[in-house]
Structures are given as C-alpha cells and as structure tokens.
Amino acid sequence: MICQKCGATIPEGASFCSSCGSPIIADPNFLMVTIPTIPGYKVKRVVGLVTGLTPRTRGVLGKFIAGIESMFGGEITAFTSEVEKARWEAINRAKTRAIELGANAIIGLDVETSDLGLQSGIVLFSATGTAVIIEQE
C-alpha cells in the first residue's frame, strides 16, 4: 500500500504512515460524517452503534520534551502528532467495526477525549457513531 500524502510504502495492516504519520484510509468509498444525514444519500438500513477506543500516554522522554516546551509557552508539539494519531486510530477502529457489521458509512460520528485520572497521564480517545448502509438518491 502507498501513502496518499507522501508516497511512502506502508506495511499491510498499518493505521498510520511511518514516514509522515498520516492516517491510512483503506476504503475511500466508506463515508463518515458528524451530521445525522449525508446529503445526496439515503439511509437504507441502520446497522447499529460502533465505537473505537484508544487509551494513550506519553513516555518519559515525551513528557520531558513537553515539559521543556511548556516553559516557553505556545503549542506543545511533542503532544500534537500523538493526539492526532490517537484520534484517527479511534476513528479507524470505529470504521473497522462498522465494516465488520456490513455498513458502508458512519453517521453522527462523535470524537471525545477524557483523562482516566489517578495521576496516570492516560488519555482515552473514543469515536462513536451509527453504522449504516447508505445508497445514493
């Protein structure tokens, strides 16, 4: 498989490009939207609720770099790429589940984050939506 963003070769089953970090979208015909309908399509059948979860934490080196960056203010770039990867991983897990159920789209997709607490530094990313079968009007 080839990354659509940078052209690098990607191993089968990878969720992200190892060169540029872009999420891998295996089926460009699968639609995911945050709204309850998709203009130009009608929902033929609701398959069910799908969720993708990704708990993440930064390692010691990542926390150290973020600590240094936070002293100067502004964006903490040590976290930016990891947060983006985790978000797309949760979305792709919901998509995989929807495909397993026979859906060709997800509507009402909602992505949330939460801190698991306990001073553990673990952040949970969740993507939840309704798996549906759609067809063009």
Tell me what pLDDT residue 88 has.
Answer: 87
Angle between helices 60-72 and 77-100 (to 10 degrees): 130
Using alpha carbons only, what angle is made at residue 35 by residues 32 and 40, rounded to the nearest 5 degrees?
Answer: 75
Tell me what pLDDT residue 119 has.
Answer: 64
Rounded mean pLDDT for each run of 10 residues along the chain, 137 residues in total: 64 75 72 95 97 79 57 66 84 92 96 78 90 95
Q: Which amino acid is residue 103, in one-letter code?
A: A
User: Domains (ranges, CATH) in the chain?
Assistant: 31-136 (3.30.110.70)
Tell me what pLDDT residue 118 has.
Answer: 66
Closest by Cα among 130, 71, 56, 45 to 95: 130
Tell me what pLDDT residue 44 has.
Answer: 96
Tell me what pLDDT residue 20 has.
Answer: 77
Report the sign of the C-alpha dihedral through residues 63, 58, 89, 32, in that order: negative
Tell me what pLDDT residue 123 has.
Answer: 84
